[in-house]
Each structure stands twice: as structure tokens, then as C-alpha cells.
Amino acid sequence: MRLSVCGGVLALIAGPAFAQSAPAAVGPSRQGDVAVTIYNNDLALVQDTRQMTLPRGISREEFPDVSAQIRPETVTLAAPDAGIVEQNFDYDLLSPNALMNKAVGQTVTVVRTNPATGTETRESARVLANNGGTIVQIGDRIEVLRDNAHVVFPALPPGLRARPTLSITLDAATAGARPMTLSYLSRGLGWKADYVALFDERAGKLDVQGWITLSNTSGTTFANAKTLLVAGTVGGDDNDTYRPNRFGNTGPRGNQSGTETSSREQLGDFYVYPLRDRTTIANAQTKQVSFLNATGVPASKAYSYRNSWLGKLSEAQSVDTVLKFSAAKEGGLGDALPAGTVRVYMRDVRGSPQFIGESAIPHTPMGSALALKTGEAFDVKILPTVEKRERVGDERWRTTMRYQFTNARSEAAMVELAQAGLGSGGHDTRIVEESQKSERPDADEAVWRVTVPANGSATLTATFDTRY
């Protein structure tokens, strides 16, 4: 058999035998009893226990089917009566491009087929380069290989592996069979949570289904693995950390961290979500497993708008539509929520669920209050304007803001308006006049809850005394 590359595909073709034959087809996985612990930040711990027979003394043992994104410096091997002398990770995998790169400077056979007659011609060629295309020398001419040609290699170059392999030199005190547990950290394995929420506005209820979405881009399949998921970010300066939008002053008000302890298993400061059954985590695949099913959770819709300091618009803008609910044990989802995306649906008049918006959440303790922006209201709008701004002293200014609300809905709407920026830049802000009493949850914001009548409008004015 000989190796051939045609159109970027590696294949075997019949022919006379050479000094080294092509490798046999990749067989079943050589992994043993596999356990995988997956973290949120593209990191996993793989523990693979294999039954192996060692001779007495020094021997080199191969562990194929490790992750192609293994971090070799993290490898440990627990082998009774045996110690590690040296280890090597062979990551130069067999592929058309790798095979062609290894052939640079070597002689190969270029095969062309006449599309009209089907006649096949063969020529010996020396591979000069393989940089974005393969350049060969045939006799006294230089050619770039095209799609009508394929290359036949006389043998498989040394060093190429059909699958990721870890080679370990061991020194065994005794000969015989024994379990050997290989442990290592790997990139390319990750998970996140996805939530599907069905909101019944009239009933004020929410049904939530939580899904764990596993992804594997490690280059290796982990078959029948015991799988443990850790909700949290383990330390490390090079972590590619999954960070959804944090609770902060750029989103709707109403988010508050809870103080209830979930009954879920914990690992240090992290919550653990073990999959009930073993599962195969196939390479280049995503997999979903259910972990939360809550029905009839109290929930409500709200309208919200946050205005920046001296923020004004030339035309009215839609306010945010906000979904509010709790993760508390009583009157809520009753669980700690790993970071992910909440996708919200409502039933239309025909009873079919329709998508109305989504929002990311961070790792959320049980007992937390959540206020998630799902979209912008079509019928409820606001027009903030700076009505007057005048100097009233060497370092004092007086600013009057007007906020005009409109509501085209057939029922009244309550809008929570937050005027931000009152404490930034040393403003030393005081509200000297306001048409409706405000709340000051902190030095930076004043909050009003304005009721806008059905098919009507409402106006709020406020005068601020500031240093600048």
C-alpha cells in the first residue's frame, strides 16, 4: 500500500510494497476508565485509568487518545511500583498538510488523470515547498500542484501520529499487570448553562428549564466518561474566562445577590454539577443535559430607563422591558444558577410560545433577585431633555431636567427612571425641586417610579444643584 494526497484528502492506494507501510486504520479508543471534570473557563481535568502490563526495569509506554490540547506540564501518572523517567507528547498528527510538510526535500510520485480519456500519467517529483500551496520540481521544470493531480508517498515519515499520543518512559520495580491512572489538564473542553424561560404575564408565573451545554474541541473523544461540571473560574493568569454581563449600573435595577446556601455539592468555593449517567463527549460536538426544571415561579414585567448625567434626546426612545424573578428557595427557582444565557418566551394568542428576548447572567447564588432586560418596549417611550442649566455661583450650577413619558398601551405602565451620574466627578448633587418624590439608593442615582396612564402621557421634572 502507498499513501496518497488528493484534493487535501489522505487516502490509501494499491501498489507495490515499500520499506515502511502506511499505518493501519485508527481503531477503537485506547482510553480506559475516564473521568472528566470540566470548568467554565475552557479547562478540564482528565483522569484516565488504564490496565497495562509493564516489564521489570525501564520501558517506554505509549498512551494514545489523550487530548490534542493536553498541557504536558500538568501530567501525572499513578503507577504502582513504577516511576516516570521521561515523558513526551507527540502532537504532530497525521494530516494531508503535515504529510506534505514532512515530504519537503523528498521525492514523491505525482499522478494526473486526463478528464477526457481517463488516462493516468505518473512522474517523479521533488517537493520544494508547501507554503499555501505545494511547489515541486519535475525534471527541469518547477510546478505548483493543482486539483487535477495527487501525490503518492513511498512511506510514512517518522514522527507523525494518527492520534494524539503521550509517550512515557517508566522504571518498574516489578513486572506484571497493574492499573495506571493518567491525569492532566486540557484546553478545548468547556460548558455553560442555557436557560429556557416561559413567561405568563397575566398569571405572573415563570417556567424555567436549565440546560448544561457541553462542548469539545480538544481533538479527542472521551467515551463513556464520568463527567463532573464545576461552576466557577479556577485561578490562572492565562484563563480565557467566560464573563457574561455583570450586575452593574449599566443594566436594569433590581439585581441583588442572594445569601442562601444551595444544597448542591460544593468543591471549595465552587458548586459542582455531576451528570447522573456516564456520557460520551465526542470531539467537535456540543451536547445538552437538563439540570433544572422549575414551574410556576412568581415573576413580573417592569419597565426601566437609566439616563446619564445631562443625558438628552432629540426624539423619544423606548424604555427597557425587564423580567423580574427570584432564585430563592421560597418563591423562586430554589437553586444556585451557573453563568449562562436566559432566553425568554411568551405564548401568543394562538397558544404558541414565541421568543421575546434574552439576557446573560453571572454565577448567581441562591436567594438572588434577578432583573433581566429582555428587549425594548414598542409602546412605552421616554424623552429626556435639559430644560434649563444656569450658573448660580462660582462653583455651583442648577440644572432642570424634564422627562416626558408616553404610553400607547391599553393599560397603565409604571416606569422606573434612574437618573445616573449624580455622584461622579465630585458633583456634590442635591435635588432642590422635583414634581414627584424620588429615592436615593446611592450617591450616584435618584430613582422615580412614574405611572404613565393607558393611552396617555406623564411628565416628571427635577432640578439639581451641583458643584459643576
Torsion 20-22-25-31 (CA) sign: positive
Rounded Cα distance between 75 and 165, Å, is: 13
If you average pLDDT over residues 410-429, what whole number do you get? Answer: 87
Backbone angles phi, psi at 401, to 5 degrees: -105, 140
Say what the pLDDT of residue 90 is. Answer: 59
Helices (H), 69-183: 96-102
Q: Which of 42, 28, 26 is nearest to 217 (CA)?
A: 42
pLDDT above 70 coverage of the chain, percent: 87
Say what the pLDDT of residue 23 is. Answer: 40
Backbone angles phi, psi at 199, to 5 degrees: -105, 125
| Cα 45 from chain centre | 17
Would you call 157 exposed, middle or buried from its count of C-beta atoms within 10 A (0-12, 13-18, 19+)?
A: middle
pLDDT above 90 coverage of the chain, percent: 56
Fold for 33-93+161-186, please state it: Immunoglobulin-like (2.60.40)
If you average pLDDT over residues 411-421, what whole number do you get? Answer: 96
**Beta strands per DSSP E along 139-284:** 141-144, 149-153, 165-172, 176-186, 189-200, 205-216, 222-231, 266-267, 270-274, 279-281
6, pLDDT greater than 70: no
Say what the pLDDT of residue 25 is. Answer: 40
At 48, the amino acid letter reads: D
Say what the pLDDT of residue 254 is. Answer: 79
* DSSP for 417-467, written as a single string: EEE--SSGGG---EEEEESS--EEEETTEEEEEEEE-TTEEEEEEEEEEE-
Rounded Cα distance between 378 and 88, Å, is: 61
Torsion 434-439-445-450 (CA) sign: negative
237, pLDDT greater than 60: no
204, pLDDT greater than 70: yes
Q: How many CB atoms lie within 10 A of CB 327?
A: 25
For 13-22, 213-222, 260-269, 284-293, which range has the lowest pLDDT when averaged over its residues?
A: 13-22
If you average pLDDT over residues 95-106, what whole number do you get? Answer: 81
Say what the pLDDT of residue 160 is. Answer: 62
198-217 as b/e: b if 16+ CB within 10 A: ebeeeeebbbbebbbebbbb
Calculate the average pLDDT of the chain: 86
Segments making up each domain of the chain, as ranges: 2-23+95-153, 33-93+161-186, 301-325+369-466
283, 289 in Cβ contact below 8 A? no
Q: pLDDT for 352-375, tens place per residue? A: 999 999 999 999 999 999 999 999
If you average pLDDT over residues 134-151, what whole number do you get? Answer: 87
* Topology match between the domains 33-93+161-186 and 301-325+369-466: yes
Looking at per-residue pLDDT, the higher value among 262 and 183 belongs to: 183
Say what the pLDDT of residue 159 is. Answer: 63
Q: pTM for the whole thing? A: 0.72
For 51-65, 98-112, 269-283, 439-453, which range has the lowest pLDDT when averaged over its residues?
A: 98-112
If you average pLDDT over residues 114-126, what whole number do you get? Answer: 86
If you average pLDDT over residues 77-99, what whole number do you get? Answer: 77
If you average pLDDT over residues 203-215, what whole number do you get? Answer: 95
Q: Domain 301-325+369-466 belongs to what architecture?
A: Sandwich (2.60)
Sheet holding 57-64, edge to edge: 57-64, 165-172, 82-90
If you average pLDDT over residues 134-147, what whole number do you get? Answer: 88
